[in-house]
Structure 1
Amino acid sequence: MQSVRRDIIARYFKKGADVEISSNEEGFSGSWYAGTVIQPPGNTKKNSAKVLVEYKTLMEDESGKRRLREKLELVQLRPPPPRESRSHFEFSDEVDAYYNDGWWEGIITKVVGEDKYLVFFRGTREQMAFRASELRLHREWVYGEWVPPLDTWPDATPMNEELPSPAEVEVNREMVEHNFNPGERVEISSDEEGFEGAWFAATVLEKLEGGMYLVEYETLRNADDDAMLLREEVDSLHMRPFPPDVGLVDRFEVLEKVDVWYNEGWWVGVISKVLKNDRYSVYFSSSQEEWKFKHSDLRVHQEWINGEWVIAPQVLFANN
């Protein structure tokens, strides 16, 4: 597997390679920016080696003459996905929207006319209008593969050839209404500062009006009475079904996205180092922190995309 990792670095993160960069700045969670590798990792055997990148759309000075450069962890980078030919999108599609010089993860909440879509962003709680040319289907880059797989790879246009202009902002309060039933087990995400990237198990108690649900958490306690489980009204955009059991894996690998059990919930991170005695260092992009965990604290990461659970191709986890 270490040889597979070196091949991925050599192929996608060599000097001059186009990349997309995830931002850890407050208020920028879920965004990706186009950049170029200026200096690749000096030692591919060193898991925490930094990569020097230069942004294509972010500038270092107010005059806009110098592009911003940063040294970043390898887990903050991915190759730019080829842009698929797509003239229309559908309600509830998970998408990336081009806005403020970067791509932001969101969900389509309404189709308005032939070429206009309302996209809801969980991180900012805003809804904005975009054209089809300013959207792309959302996919995760998992250990060298796009998940779910690209549909039209042969006909794809490289993302860096032409970036669309920023969309005109239109705030709209309409919400998506998913169907969750009382008694159903779900997971809840939070917008509160310090809890980005975390999912907490809960049970649906009641369906309310306006796409809201009353839920009871399985691990979070009421602040006023620690003997009682926390109950809360949550909108459907912060809910997903409880992930299915996909079984245990013998070993996780560097650059593999995982969920980590920590502080009463599951937190999304990336394996940055494989340690001795079934332990791992995991990097969390939302907080720019790296923590050590036991193998038993991790589970296979799954993405709820367009109404389906998606995981990385199992062949990538084989011992190569």
Structure 2
Amino acid sequence: MHPAVVTTFRQGDAIEICPDDDGFRGSWFTGTVIRGLSGSSSSNRRKVGKKPSHKYLVQFDNLFEDQAGTKKLKEEVEEWQLRPLLPREANRLFSLSDEVDAYYNDGWWEGTITEQLGQGMFEVYFRASKDSIQFKAEDLRLHREWINNAWVPPFSEEQQEKSPANDTKVAEGKDQIFKDGTMVEVSSDEDGYHGAWFSAKVVKALSEKKYIVEYQNLRNQDDMKLLLEEADILHIRPCPPKAKASTSFKLLEEVDALYNDGWWIGVISKVLGDSKFSVYFRDTNEEMDFHGSALRPHQEWIDGKWVIASQILGL
């Protein structure tokens, strides 16, 4: 016998469950509460930023413990991983840049509509996996959060009509710095990528400050497609003008070195002869040798203009 526990959800409640495993975060799967468990996460070490909550034993509807699919998966979860079933809305109309949940691999996954394909089909981009997949309208729902026992945005409000002026900006590229199809370079704040710029193409503007880009030399996890990713305006710049081929870089000159499919900023630390140079990378504290054909003068995009560092320094 388990002692009685005062909980938000009751035995038999139909729910949605957010697994906390790698690869599943941000997704929701339907299931049923089997029972509340004794003890509260308030008496144990709990995740940073998570409020105290009770634990539950739940059973998934469409996830199984065995490959044959005969034994439904049961797990102990905390209350913050549960919410009521999200009601379905009939005749929901979707638009470009809507935040949606897409039904995929037996669960609902959060994404963004990046293209309206016609005949009730939409292209949805998933930030977590950096994949883009096509869905029918009936496999989509407007993304909502369960906050303080209410859905946000609430169902009581009609879907707000988008301003024609805003639609025009996205569709026609007005007031945008980059239009669809523009070749650009993209940087990243992720560890291990500081100081690098990667060639990409703008696929779609999500807003005036955010874009979906397709890298030209990076691929997704299964190596089947070019990598798609959301990037903000602070990490995008035009492609630098091509500098004349040079094999006569000078000591301490700032350069970009072509390495691992991107251009990495460094400094000429040695002139080796035979058009070869040693380049020192401050971010990684490493030194590597390159042929001059794999180097270019480092340029900065400042106030809408390209500035060559070597010209500023008088090298």
Which TM-score bucket, shorter chain as reference? 0.3 to 0.5
Q: Which has the larger radius of gyration?
A: 2
Q: TM-score, normalised by structure 2?
A: 0.47
- Higher strand fraction: Structure 1 or Structure 2? 2
Using the size of structure 1 for normalisation, the TM-score is: 0.47
